[in-house]
Amino acid sequence: MITPSALGSFALIVGLLTLTPGLDTALILRTALLGHRARTWGIVLGIQAGTLVWGVLGALGVTAVLTASHLAYTALRWAGAAYLVWMGGRMVLSTLRRRAAGTDEAATDPVAGSDAAGGFRGGLRRGAVTNLLNPKMGAFYMAVLPQFVPSGGMIEHLAAGTLLAGVHILLAVAWATVLVVFAHTLRDTLRRPSARRVLDRVTGTVITAFGLRLALGD
């Protein structure tokens, strides 16, 4: 069994990780600021589904492949980097193509589309893919999880990994709720087409930068 002190230590580590601004924060904020409520929660839950998968794989030792095999890690890193650059670049380029006036921002949103059209399922897919194509998540769980998983058989390891990932998910959902509430207070301002274009350019640039950093990193 995982001791309360070990559980608390893990919660502290992943809590600090959750509060650190990153790709997840950018995706959630951007979608929430545009008012796509269903898609926002789809992204949140998709990200957490990816976290659960990494937690289970980490507990079973499968993610050891990422640290033991340079080729596997590199392949996943390049796939993730290409996906992020594509997503961020698409955001930025779409804003450059929009006409200054008479543009329906919701209809031309390159990532979300309308909230009703796509909402939750599209967000769930994007959040999960973004998380699962991030090899650093796998490396993090491989480096950290074994320190908190008690000795035992596969069932014990699986239960411990699921519990620890669950703690991470709870903290991440709580933080996402704070971000969504914050975004809601700025929603009226972001209804203006010019403000939305600026938001997409900033978010697209940030996501592209994450992709390039992932591609050029070790």
Tell me if 9 is assigned to some domain. Answer: no
Q: What is the pLDDT of residue 106?
A: 46
Tell me if 103 is assigned to some domain. Answer: yes
Q: What is the pLDDT of residue 169?
A: 96
**Is residue 98 pLDDT above 80, yes or no?**
no
pLDDT band at 51 (very low <50, low <70, confident <90, very high): very high
Q: What is the pLDDT of residue 62?
A: 62
Tell me if 30 is assigned to some domain. Answer: yes
Tell me if 56 is assigned to some domain. Answer: yes
Tell me if 148 is assigned to some domain. Answer: yes
Tell me if 16 is assigned to some domain. Answer: no
User: What is the tens place of the pLDDT at every residue in 57-84?
Assistant: 887 776 565 556 677 667 777 887 888 8
Between residues 195 and 19, the one the model is more confident about: 19
Amino acid letter for position 193 = P
Tell me if 17 is assigned to some domain. Answer: no
**Is residue 154 pLDDT above 50, yes or no?**
yes
Ranked by mean pLDDT, which of 107-116, 148-157, 158-167 comes out on top? 158-167
Nearest of 127, 108, 111 to residue 204 by alpha carbon: 111
Tell me if 69 is assigned to some domain. Answer: yes
Q: What is the pLDDT of residue 136?
A: 78
The rounded distance, in Å, linking the Cα atoms of 59 and 147 is 10
Nearest of 169, 184, 201, 202 to residue 47 by alpha carbon: 169
The rounded distance, in Å, linking the Cα atoms of 83 and 47 is 15
Q: How many residues does the chain have?
A: 218
Orientation of helix 4-19 relative to helix 154-185, angle to 10°: 40
Domains in the chain, number:
1
What domain range includes position 102? 22-216
